[in-house]
Chains A and B, each alone.
Chain A
Amino acid sequence: MQAAQEAAEQPQQVRKVRPLTGNEAIARGAWEAGVRVAAAYPGTPSTEILESLGKYPADELHAQWSTNEKVALDVAIGASFAGSRALAAMKHVGLNVAADAFMSQAYIGANGGLVLAVCDDPGIHSSQNEQDTRIYGQFATVPVLEPSNAQEALDFTRLAFDISEQFDTMVIVRSTTRLSHTRSPVALGSRSEHPSRGFLESPAKNVMIPAHAKVRHVAVLERETKLKEYLETAAINRIEAGGKAGKPTGKPSFGVITAGTCYPYVREVLPNASVLKLGASWPLPEGLLRRFCESVDRVLVVEELEPFIEREALALGLAVEGKQHFPRVGEFSPEILRAGFEKAGVLEPRDKRAGWTPEPLARPPVLCAGCPHTSSFMAVRASGARVAGDIGCYTLACLDPLRGLDTTVSMGSSIGNAIGMAAAGDTKPVMATIGDSTFLHAGIPSLINAVYNQANITVLLLDNHITAMTGGQEHPGTGKTLRGDEAPKVDYEALVRAIGVKWVRTVDSYDLANMYQVLREAIAYKGVSVIISDRPCVLDPVKIKGPALRIANEQCNACQSCMNLGCPAMTWGEDTFEGRHKVKIDESLCIGCTLCAQVCTVDCIKPVANAATGPGGAPLVPVNQ
């Protein structure tokens, strides 16, 4: 605990205060704790943790994008074996990918401090589910720290490394989208160097064969007991006694148990209530819980997602209330808490001030203007195939008007799903669509499986040269590392051929006619065919902007073919033809990909003439050839 104490003892006036997001604060905390190795696969809302760590000096720490979360955790575990402090960061569903290593490492423990920063996404801002990571902590008997603001994100991350080494365990620092992406003032400390402890040569601890694992399981349970003892008195778990307003006259007193991001909401709504604020949501300190519950007449547990603390408290025989007042679904907010406290009868209902509510406009996220996925999915849809999709920007192609994919499960599922669909005898030709980063993450084993089991499927590898969905991170196919250094580049065509795929073609995503044709040929091929559609993302690493296109309004017959692209630069103009809206292009958004010109049935879309580039300018691709 020495480092954390040192930090706390530093006089406030010498600690610089900076506004940091929760993710930046976790990165700062890891750096201050002397982390030597950090690894992650990007995933909203966790991505910025490693991005931030990549900005600290390279001689102080090695930071890398790994191909997936399991690899990232294995890298961190390796560094811990070697005696250095290490961190792996991932989103909640990333821990599913890393779970195999995670569950076993729980038995092995930690030599160098080993911390997992896991960011949950209550409310599903950008995920496929809203699973609760605290359950993983309990499942593996690994402590879970839950910071409630950016300052705690820094402090708890530092503390997590100390706990890890003191108790010989991995530690999870759990954040949520709200904490990860909220900027608030943080007092900074300095880095405390932790030289490597050296490799701990102990096969009985480091090699999980049954004989060793049986012994380690006992050690894990002993560790749990010690952690519980420590957390009974640790400063991160604290009781805040209520003021007068916490006890309305003539009513039984009540208290609130909460942790993490819910704590500020509780304080917003009940500034004076008695609160047991848990800094660690696993394991729970039984004595502290009992003392708090005995100090008040009623106890309400306020926690997002699962009734995790509530169930534990009930199992201890404590009469707490929770999910009968507060939702188990979605992200919390002060309004939701207020409604819950009103329902529980501890807050007087406030007059609902009926405001004016105009009918909201639906504005779902869409593929960008010029997104190379757009043409891929135009071709996919025209092929009439059954399409197993995957995780990435292109998942948005499931929406109108593209409506180009039928399923999306998890990272890399598309190819396996497609094999199953084909094996089950789907009447349509079966196709899998998968992005470059997702393919490297979890698609390669399933493609090998497709070849091995001679599946009759077509795999469309959507290569946009970046991890786009999370904001443009490098990966093994981009030729750059996290820090921007040169790196070897995966050659997809050679990789796919080496696996044993006989039919491989690379096509230009912007050449729509060719895409249609190649897709037909690939579907006609019996066996595994792979098409690599090749165009960079229009946003990252560089914003692409060619000459904009314009629609000759008098020629437009409002056939709406171009509107099938779902391009955000295209919208309806004021004029109509036979009752249908003519289309116009927002030239500030148009990047000149020419897809609309390629599908235009009356050839009325042309690049805007511009004095510098001559008539029509120089489009990104030749139009109508």
Chain B
Amino acid sequence: MRDATDDAAVRAVDSATVRQPTNVLIVGVGGQGVIMISKALAWLAQSQGFEVKQSEVHGMAKRGGAVFSHVRFGPEVWSPTIPKGEVDILVALEWAEGLRWLPYLKPDTGIFICDTKRIVPPFACLNRHPGAPLRYSRETPAEVRAHVLEAYAIDATRMAEELGNDRAANVVLLGAVSTAMDFPVADWERAVTEFVPKKTIAVNLKAFGLGRGWIDDARRGTPAALEAEPVFATPRAPADTPYNVRLEITPGWCKSCDICVKLCPERCLQLNSERIVELAIPEACTGCRLCEWLCPDFAIRVHLDSVQDMVAAQAGARQ
């Protein structure tokens, strides 16, 4: 065991002795194994003689939504959920989910341990216009560290992949969490053995050791550990010039076949009262050119004018 005397991490457990429970919030995305490591931690805390409450969300969470699980233990635990600002250790299996729950962390002493894994939901990709950015959290580990006293961004998923099982990323994080509590390592390993699928015990024990070692290295400032922390790429907007999309429809050539209307990904075309194609929702059109390519009669042309083109056209009109 490491020397714990001047370690912020141990304060969480020390405070339990004055009847305040230790509060661990474990968050992620449906299917990542949030509940599994929550159960393991709750089981371990109970085996150490603490009263434990573990509270989770069900139902919709399974469908790729955000999942969170509160684990509280101490001599006496009342509320099953952790009050805002009272989380001692926030464990996140996904980057944006970690950021979502940061306001729940104890402002002075809370520890943040987060996988840098990014799971971008389909919802982040709704604005398809040329030049539109991905709507995903932009904060980097460096920014988080500027606001949180003790924050670790750990590439747990990659570490688990290197062990040959990306599903073990949650146990890598559990290993990291274990350094913040004073339970014996052997008991932690027993908890892991108890809750992971039988066939994966060996790889998960390795994963646990990796996570534990990584945090110890990071605390000591070992260069290898700090290098292991990935450079976090900010989602980047398309570098191309933004376009203005313009559809040129030749009504006389349209024979009302409906192909463009049915296949438009943005569903922004329709046949008008004369059954001639028209752009019904101009703001939805992204200029993908499918209608232009699919029209058997060349009735639609898509113009992607660059900003410079538009300026030139306006200047031309004035002359």
Q: Which residues of A contact B (CB under 8 A)?
A: 19, 44-45, 125-126, 177-179, 181-185, 264-265, 267-268, 271, 333-335, 338, 353, 355-368, 381-382, 393, 396, 400-401, 469-471, 539, 557-561, 563-564, 566-568, 570-572, 574, 576, 578-581, 588, 601
- Distance, CA A334 to CA B104, complexed state (A): 12
Q: How many residues of B contact A (CB 8 A)?
A: 77
Q: Which of A353, A539, A558, A559 has the most CB of B within 10 A?
A: A559
**B54 contacts A183, C-beta separation under 8 Å:** yes
Q: B43 and A357: CB pair below 8 A?
A: no
A184 to B74, CA, bound (A): 12
Given A268-B78, A357-B103, A572-B134, A581-B238 contact (CB < 8 Å): yes
| A contacts with B: majority SS | loop
Contact call A471/B62, Cβ cutoff below 8 A = yes
B230: interface (CB < 8 Å) = no
Q: Give A181 to B42 CA distance when docked, in angstroms.
A: 14
Other contacts beyond A19-B42, A579-B243: 8, CB < 8 A = A182-B54, A183-B39, A183-B53, A184-B53, A357-B102, A361-B96, A365-B62, A578-B130
Q: Complex: how many Å from CA A39 to CA B287?
A: 56
| Residues in chain B near residue A469, CB distance under 8 A | 59
| B65: nearest chain-A partner, CB-CB | A365
Q: List, in ascending order, chain B residues with CB within 8 A of A601's CB.
A: 263, 290, 293-294
Nearest CB in chain B: distance from A564 CB, A: 6
What are 8 A-B pairs with beta-carbon distances under 8 A?
A: A125-B57, A183-B53, A184-B80, A265-B79, A353-B107, A470-B59, A561-B290, A580-B288
Pair B131/A579 contact, Cβ less than 8 Å: yes
Q: 1/0 per residue B254-271: CB within 8 Å of A?
A: 000000001101110000
Q: A275 to nearest B CB, angstroms? A: 12
Most buried by A among B64, B124, B290: B64
Q: Are B79 and A268 in contact (CB under 8 A)?
A: yes
Q: Which of B128, B242, B289 has its CB near the most chain A CB atoms (within 10 A)?
A: B128
Nearest to A574 among chain B residues (CB) is: B236
Q: How far is the CA of A361 from the CA of B65 in the complex (A)?
A: 11
Most chain B C-beta atoms within 10 Å of own C-beta, residue among A45, A126, A271, A469: A126
Contact yes or no, A366 B64, CB < 8 A: yes
Q: Which 3 A-B pairs have the closest CB atoms?
A: A579-B130, A126-B59, A365-B65
Q: Is B250 an interface residue (CB 8 A)?
A: no
Minimum CB–CB distance from B226 to chain A (whole Å) comes to 23
Q: A333-B81, A578-B130 are in contact. Are A362 and B59 (CB under 8 A)?
A: no
Is B61 positioned at the interface, with any CB of A under 8 Å from its CB?
Answer: yes
B219 is an interface residue with CB less than 8 A from chain A: no
B46, B65, B147: the one within 8 Å of A364 (CB) = B65
Assess the B46–A568 pair: CB atoms within 8 A: no
* B312 at interface by CB-CB < 8 Å: no
Other-chain contact of B64, A45, A126, A368 (Cβ < 8 Å): A368
Q: Take A576-B238, A580-B288 as given contacts and tell me if A400 and B123 are in contact as well, using a CB distance cutoff of 8 Å.
A: yes
CB nearest neighbor in B for A178:
B80
> Hey, what's the 0/1 contact readout for B281-303 against A, CB within 8 Å counting as 1?
00000111110011000000000
Are the C-beta atoms of A363 and B263 separated by less than 8 Å?
no
| Minimum CB distance partner of A43 in chain B | B59
A45 lies within 8 A of B266 (CB): no
- On chain A, the residues within 8 Å of B242 by CB distance are 579
Pair A563/B265 contact, Cβ less than 8 Å? yes
Write out the residue numbers on chain A whose beta carbons fall within 8 Å of the beta carbon of B265. 559-561, 563-564
Which residues of chain B come closer than 8 Å to A365, judged between CB atoms?
Answer: 30, 60-65
Contact B240 A181, beta carbon cutoff 8 Å: no
Known: A566-B122, A579-B238, A579-B242. A333 touches B83 (CB 8 A): yes
Contact check, A19 vs B83: say whether CB atoms are below 8 A apart. Answer: no
- Minimum C-beta distance from A593 to chain B (A): 15
In the bound complex, what is the Cα–Cα distance between A372 and B318 (angstroms)?
A: 56
Assembled-state Cα–Cα distance A381/B263 (Å)? 12
Q: Which residues of B contact A264 (CB under 8 A)?
A: 78-80
A52 to chain B, nearest CB (A): 14
Alpha-carbon distance between A333 and B80 when the two chains are bound, in angstroms? 9
Judge whether B81 and A334 touch: CB under 8 Å. yes
* Contact across chains for B240 and A185 when beta carbons are under 8 A apart: no
Least distance between B70 CB and chain A CB atoms (Å) = 8
Residues of A within 8 A of B61 (CB): 365
Q: Does B56 contact A (CB under 8 A)?
A: yes
Given contacts A574-B236, A581-B128, A601-B290, contact A19 B102 (CB under 8 A): no
Chain B residues whose CB sits within 8 angstroms of the CB of A470 once the complex forms: 59
